[in-house]
Amino acid sequence: MNENNLSSIESKTSSDNIDYDKENAKLIVSELIDLLNDERSYRDIGIATEITKTVHLLIKQGGCRKQEIFAYPNLITSLIKLFNTDNDLTRLLTSLFHDLSIEKDGIRLLLRTGVIPILLQTLELLNDDVINFVLTTLRNCLIGLNNESAKEIQIHNGCMTLISLLIHRHSNKQMNFLADCLLRLAMFNTDAQIYLQTSKLFLQELVTILDETNYNKLSFTLIRMLPLLSSNKNTKSILIQFNIISTLERILHMKYDYKIQRYCLLTLRNLSDQIIHMDNFDSLIITLIQ
């Protein structure tokens, strides 16, 4: 057998395998849809759990199997209805949604099937493990499809929900994810930016966390937000009222890396027209000179 014949056979075998995988994926998804359409199966937590595990496995396997899931958004829509019906099943679903959020097609599927508002509505009711998955999923969406995701999150009161969680003080990692989601919302959605600029509750919490935290990642995320927030005329006086100047002065005095110092200086530049009306800003001038 010559090399050309061998190459032809290998090519045909590869093509046959791809066709088989496609047909197999279609058959599996078709059976899953039939099960979800069966009321008895749909209401059986055990069966629903196995269906969720199978869908998740197909997504992880990638290729034509994952594409077949993308081709049937109704499958995800049906699974969403099972959210919060059982703790273990909810954990499985949040893990599935997280894996979908890793790529743009998956994010589009989450947006199209209404997963985002469900995640937001239940965010405050979930345990820490699930909160981590949900926050990472939202963050992935904001990174992958920023404008579309920010709009969807803001429409469903995302800022309010995330601020509420921020106030209740979770782990440092969760707090940083919350702050990062709020930062990206402000960057990619005008309504969200205005909401954060005019929320005294949020602005006070931001300054308080900056004063209290020793977690550098969280500090950096919040400091990155300050130039954006302080660009609003009304926000300036609120931030000064909450003593942001002394907070920035302390951070500058500690001489963190240049990126943090840069964001602090940008914020001070935005606030400068208000600072000159303060009774005493000598210590700030000394800090800046040093």
Whether 12 shows a pLDDT value over 60: the answer reads: no
DSSP 125: G
Residues 115 and 73: their CA atoms lie apart, in Å, by 11
Residue 220: per-residue pLDDT: 93
Residues 133 and 138: their CA atoms lie apart, in Å, by 9
Looking at domain 83-198, does it have CATH number 2.30.42.10?
no
Determine if the pTM surpasses 0.95. Answer: no
Three-state secondary-structure class, residue 22: helix
What DSSP string describes 242-290? TTHHHHHHHHHHTT--HHHHHHHHHHHHHHHHHHTTSS--HHHHHHHH-
Residues 13 and 11: their CA atoms lie apart, in Å, by 5
User: Across the chain, what does the average pLDDT equal?
Assistant: 84
Question: pLDDT per residue over 124-135, tens digit each?
Answer: 776 677 888 899
Q: Count other C-beta atoms under 10 Å from residue 271's C-beta.
A: 22
Q: What sign has the CA pseudo-torsion 281, 284, 289, 290?
A: positive
* Mean pLDDT, residues 154-180 taken together: 91
Burial environment of residue 32 by CB neighbours within 10 A (0 to 12, 13 to 18, 19 or more): buried
Whether 10 shows a pLDDT value over 70: the answer reads: no
Could you tell me the CA-to-CA distances from 286 to 11, 246, 282 in Å, in that order? 74, 13, 6
Residue 34: per-residue pLDDT: 85
Question: pLDDT per residue over 214-250, tens digit each?
Answer: 898 999 999 999 999 999 989 999 998 998 988 888 8
